[in-house]
Structure formats: structure tokens, C-alpha cells
Structure 1
């Protein structure tokens, strides 16, 4: 785009030191215009603003980032605060008695420190596999209200909830008997009208679920709409492989799907879809959603982009 709306393309290339070029970096997710990246060798979390090019490096706390205990995390900013951010890291740990607990720590850029460790024991049924239950790293966290949600191993064991206000961890069961389905996928999402939701995908059928509290005060999953993807996308299920979930844009409730060589986006409320084209490279998508306006945001000079307070 022309100035003042142009953002230099170099800002979308992460600048690292020469000795880091061959290092292993893991993208943990995007939110509020920021990207959270884990630097495996240095045990650092990187908080990067691709538009302004600003990069923060924070040492991971002890116990987070070990090879045998993969971590996940999330970055977020309070409404109206574009100067500070928070990072939440989560991992799991199994003791000698095979009791598995989830652990979390929160970093505040305002104080420059990690908070106290928070933990909760995972349900016993969450440890029925040969491998210990871990945080699923296939999909990033989803922010719903004032809570973050992650899938546990293969999403069979449940959903880990971190309440930002109460600073507490808990586990919610998944809405369907996943073991009854041969080819399935599940991801957490924001439900229509707000609240926690889930997208369950079995072959070419998608189900939208909502975590809802009844009149008795008990919360449970309620099935919303069912989507026949082959009909919606006008594709033949006989000629196509079942779709694969590549990513989810939480602010706009848009899911990214891959089937054969095509990548589709579907807005889950309006069911509007778009074909983004062909690709034979399978990878996870981390949609970057933000709102910028012409102003003084980039490099401290005019003609850049400035983050709006309500991003």
C-alpha cells in the first residue's frame, strides 16, 4: 500500500542473531498483534510485533522447556494497553506415582518478572495412555472471555483452562466420544454469542459445540449447528481426502482447512468460505489479527502504523 499505510515488508521477517539462524524456533501463537515464539536452544520466549519490528526476549522459567515436557503458551495485552503484555506458559509433569499435573506461570512486562507457579492435578482418566499427558502443541491457545484454553494430548484427555482473573487451572472434558470416530479432529474456539465452543471434525462433517450453563447451574456441552463441508465447499468427498484443520483465527471465528491441495477459510457463523489457493506444504497456520491506523507507530517516525487502543 502507499504511504502512510505502507508497512515495510522487512518488518514481517524475524531478525535473529547470526548464530541463531539454524536454531529451532517454535511458534506458540498470535494475539493482539503480537507473536509468541519459543527459542528451544536458548530457552527463551520471544514476543514479536511484526508491524513495528519490536522484539522482546524473556528467559523461560525453570522447569519450562525441557525436551521431555513440551510447553505451550499464549501472549496477550489488556484492552487499551499497547505498552505492556503478558505471557502465560503451560506444561505438564508426571511424578514417580504417575500422577500428572499441569503447571503454569505468568510473565508481566510491567514488572519484568515471572509470577508464582500454578498447578493442578489432571484427572486420572487423563493418564490412560502409555505416554504421559501433555499440552497439545498442534493448536495454540484460544482466549475466551478472561480464560485461556489448550487441548491436552490428542484432545482425548480434555481441555486445560487457565482463568486469568482467578489465576487457576482446571480441566474440562471434550464434548463427544472421540474414540467412537475413526478419522477426527477437535479444536477449541469461541462460540457464537460468546463463551467457550468447540469444533469437532469427522471426515466431511463438522459439528459446532458450546459449553453452556443450565438453569441448575451445571455446565455441559450443547450441540449447535452441523456443517456438511463437502456440500458447503462444493467438493466431492469421493475424490478428496478429509479436511485437516490448519489453524483458527479467534477474533473472527475463522477456521483454516486443507483438503488435498487447497486451503479454505470458513467463517463459522456466516459459513462464508474462501479458497486461498493450492499448496502441497502442510503446516500449522497462526493468523495474525490486529488493527492499525496511519500514524506514528513504526520506528518512532511519521508515516508508519499505530496500534489502536482497542486492539
Structure 2
């Protein structure tokens, strides 16, 4: 006799206790039976799951590189349903991630002539993107650019912003001025451009861009070892500037402090140094040292660590070394290695969001959201069918050549099969299928060799 089914409320209570920082747990639970899958994929469960846990988990990092396509380094085990599917296979660069959204730039900027052609707002969990749109006109004349994305819904708790209206702030410098504009998904247009003149100004890429209230903050350089902080208000559309902390620009990262104000963090050996800002009645901003934390008991002594960010909702500092990214939670003392790479990224962008199975949402009427991957997967299926047909024909031809003792022709068929499959799977960037295909090709070769003997 099968065991009795759990009552609905008890089942919900059990599944809600699965950890949000390992999305594979919910995904595997959804495979138990159709009843569990129906529960876990329902909007009601997703809403209840977010309300219970409250703090969105860190799912991993998007890592930007100057010479290769960016990739996603998940924080959960390899069995996780993450990493997500990229919107397409163009040269994309991750500019920012916030409120479950990711801002992408096309193309990757390698030289000063690689100006942005289009921007994409991507929802990895909802598996959809906002139709690509051009940047503001000044993008074709600037030398350095950065961008931010943020949910623009009123009274949103930012626990599940999928489908909400958003803003994109785009800022660039041309050595004479900083220019900025805001794109609104509700008006589908850019705001008038505002500028902040300053000689030899250069906004720094690859740095955290904290959003505090309505304002975003960036580090700018104007002479060697001379720099300041640029502030852009996404709602008032104002640009302003003030002095940075008395630290070398590459040794600190801007952050939103636990007090909700602008601060920064830097590493000096094993010591984590924290600063915060205070704004006077006259609007002048001053920097004050908040505290120093010695991490020598938490971190290996043979590595050099640099702060690349802090997430106030997760409560973790992000540190990078030559072999990946590490998170440090000062309250719990927990240290976790998040990524392990032989290619050091110049920027690691954290992705923070809840994930529950099948969280795709319907596209709102009048919007420009579109599902990610469907059209591309259909095209891949047609190409794969053509590839398999060609491989089958070559296999038949090669088998016949072996029977006729035409070994040169048989070897030529083997070579062409490998070239066809290798070319297809490299174009799809799907390594597991590539390895599987090569393994199958090796089996075919063994069969031919045995037949020839």
C-alpha cells in the first residue's frame, strides 16, 4: 500500500524550508511527481517562498573579460538549474545587475572605437528580455561608458520584480565632460541628456555602482592618482560630484553601508577597512573611517585579496584573488569560495534573486518583453537535424568504403564527421553536448577499426 499523501499545508511548509541559495533543491523537488511540480511552479508558492525568506540569495556572478564572452559562475552546486541562458550569441558585456535584472551592452568594448550599438535588459529567472534598444545619441562620441538598471515600480519590495517597469541609467565620459541619460520602460524613451564638465575626466569601468535612494555613484579619474565621485540621480536627472576617500582608487570599492549611506571598503593585507560618508547642512560630503576588521583568521594568508563589492541585503563582502571570487559574511564569520577560474575577470557582477522552478511570467500587453531562447532553440533544432542527417550519410558511406576496403575513403568520412560535429557544437557553445558528440564519434571509429580487422 502506498504511503499516505502529505496534507497540502504541511507540504508547503516543508518545501518552503528548502534553502533559497541552492535553487537546485526546489528544482529537484519539482521532479518528484506532478503534484509537487504543480505546487512549486505556482505563482502562489513563489510569492509565499519570497515572503518567508525575505532576503534574495546570491545565485552567482557574471564575469566580464576583455577577450572572451562573459560567463556566469553559479554559487550553488553543479546540479543547479542555473546558470541561465544568455539572450543571444552576440558579443555581450554585463554592465550591471540589480533587482533580478541584468543590463547587457553590445558589443564588448575592447578599443575606444567599440561604441555601444544596443542595450538589453534581461530577466534570467523569468527567461525573457526587453527588446534591444539603442543607447542615447552621445554613446557614439564617448570613450568610456557604464550603465545601471533598477526596478521602477512604486512601493516595490524588490523580492520579485519580474515584469515590473524599470529604469536604465547610462553614463559616459569623453575627457571633457560626463554625460548621462535615463531610459524608462514605461515611456520607451531616453530622458534629455545632462552633462557635468570636468577636464580629462574618465569614468572607471569594472567598479561597483551602488544605488542609494534614487542616486547611483561612480568613481571617476581626471589625472593620475586624482579622482572624485560622480553622482547621478535617476529621478531628478541631476549629475553632481564630490571628493572620494583618501585611498588609492583601485584599492577600494563603493558600497551602500548598513546605515543606508554611501561608503567604501578596502583591503590592506588581511585588514578590511570600512568608510562611510556624512553630508553636512551645506551639502558638503565628508568621509569618515567607520571601523577596521582583521580577517586573518578567515582568509588564507598566502593570497592577495581586493574588495569588489558589498551587498547590504545579503550582508556579504565580495573579495577577489587571482583564482576566483570569495564572499565574507562578517556577522556569521562564513567564508565561501564562489568561483574558481584560471582566467581572471576584470569585473565580477553579482546576481541576486529568488529562483523557483518555471518562473516565466506572461508578457504584459503593450510591453516589449520577449521570451529568451525559444527562437534560437528552434533554429538550433533545425541545424542539428541537418547535421545529424549529414553525419548519418557519411557514416553509411564510410561503412560501405570499409567493406570495399577503401580505407582512405573511410578515414576521410571519419574526419568530415568530426569536423561537422565539432563546428556545430562550438557554434552553439554547449560543451557537454560537444563532449558527448566526440565520445560517440570515437565509438564509431572503434567500430570501423574492428570491422577493418
- Whole-Å Cα distance in 2 between the matches of residues 264 and 139 of structure 1? 17
Describe the superposition over 1:229-287 as per-residue Cα deviations: whole angstroms up to 9, x where unpaired: 3x142422xx33x2133454354342221235363202356654323364333122211
**Residues 1:276 and 1:269: Cα distance change in structure 2 (over 3 Å):** same
In 1, are the aligned partners of 2:256 and 2:310 still within 8 Å (CA)? no
Name 1:76's counterpart in structure 2.
150
The structure that is strand-richer by fraction is: 1
Name 1:167's counterpart in structure 2.
237
Comparing 111-120 with 245-254, greater Cα deviation is found at 245-254
Count of paired positions: 273
Q: Give the drift of 1:73.
A: 0.6
| Equivalent position to 1:254, from 316, 335, 346 | 316
In 1, are the aligned partners of 2:169 and 2:234 still within 8 Å (CA)? no
In 1, are the aligned partners of 2:182 and 2:237 still within 8 Å (CA)? no
Are 2:300 and 1:235 equivalent residues in the alignment?
yes
Name 1:304's counterpart in structure 2.
none
**Residues 1:191 and 1:10: Cα distance change in structure 2 (over 3 Å):** closer
Are 2:264 and 1:195 equivalent residues in the alignment?
no
Comparing 27-36 with 132-141, greater Cα deviation is found at 132-141
SS at the partner of 1:104? strand
Q: What runs of 5+ residues in structure 2 fail to find an aligned partner?
A: 1-26, 31-36, 47-79, 108-113, 364-453
Describe the superposition over 1:4-24 as per-residue Cα deviations: whole angstroms up to 9, x where unpaired: 4479948811131xxxx3x43
Name 1:86's counterpart in structure 2.
167
- Whole-Å Cα distance in 2 between the matches of residues 216 and 170 of structure 1? 14
- Whole-Å Cα distance in 1 between the matches of residues 91 and 146 of structure 2? 15
Q: Give the drift of 1:300.
A: 3.8
Are 2:99 and 1:32 equivalent residues in the alignment?
yes
TM-score, normalised to structure 2, is 0.54
Structure showing greater Rg = 2
Name 2:134's counterpart in structure 1.
59
- Whole-Å Cα distance in 2 between the matches of residues 247 and 169 of structure 1? 23
Q: Give the drift of 1:178.
A: 2.6
- Whole-Å Cα distance in 1 between the matches of residues 217 and 248 of structure 2? 19
Q: Give the drift of 1:209.
A: 0.5
In 2, are the aligned partners of 1:190 and 1:253 still within 8 Å (CA)? no
Are 2:271 and 1:205 equivalent residues in the alignment?
yes
- Whole-Å Cα distance in 2 between the matches of residues 162 and 235 of structure 1? 38
Name 1:307's counterpart in structure 2.
none
- Whole-Å Cα distance in 2 between the matches of residues 115 and 70 of structure 1? 20
Describe the superposition over 1:154-184 as per-residue Cα deviations: whole angstroms up to 9, x where unpaired: 88411111123422111121111438xxxx5
CA RMSD across the alignment: 3.1
In 1, are the aligned partners of 2:298 and 2:335 still within 8 Å (CA)? yes
SS at the partner of 2:143? coil
Are 2:45 and 1:45 equivalent residues in the alignment?
no
- Whole-Å Cα distance in 2 between the matches of residues 269 and 196 of structure 1? 20
**Residues 1:208 and 1:116: Cα distance change in structure 2 (over 3 Å):** same
**Residues 1:232 and 1:161: Cα distance change in structure 2 (over 3 Å):** farther
Name 2:248's counterpart in structure 1.
178
Q: Give the drift of 1:26.
A: 1.4
Name 2:181's counterpart in structure 1.
105
